[in-house]
Structure 1
């Protein structure tokens, strides 16, 4: 995939996250600035989703650590343990809010 395709795919991921969190009953603030989407919670903690075009990866940072995801067989898979991006993001948001988003 070329850089333009990666940027389009990652834009869709950001859009999907924003749509799901706006549609649900989540008390979060969403801040999107270029390559970064911040999800800020009531306690001022954050989950940060970042796209890294050079590696064609989506990076996810939370209190529990940092994760890198690469597109493999149509899904964004962790470079560390092969977990799926939206599964991990759902768990992280649930841990923060007690609610479970649907992506």
Structure 2
């Protein structure tokens, strides 16, 4: 097999995995915020319990994803940070 093709395939897969990992991390953060919001807006004890467990699950998922990112030496470049920051300003 062509070495160049193999190398390009491996690099593309790594980039795809990193993008997927970043999106999963962003979703986990959103899930935490949703659970916090739910906790603040409900009064039924069963719904409060659900909100607490939902937040706990989302935090554990975030911890796992951050550990995965660290273990894979995943990095976010400056353009990604700028794009996300500019989206917040709008």
Give TM-score, length-normalised by structure 1: 0.30
- Could you say which structure has the greater relative contact order, defined with CA pairs below 8 angstroms and 6 or more residues apart? 2
Name the structure with the higher strand share: 1
Give TM-score, length-normalised by structure 2: 0.34
The structure whose Rg is larger is 2
Name the structure with the higher helix share: 2
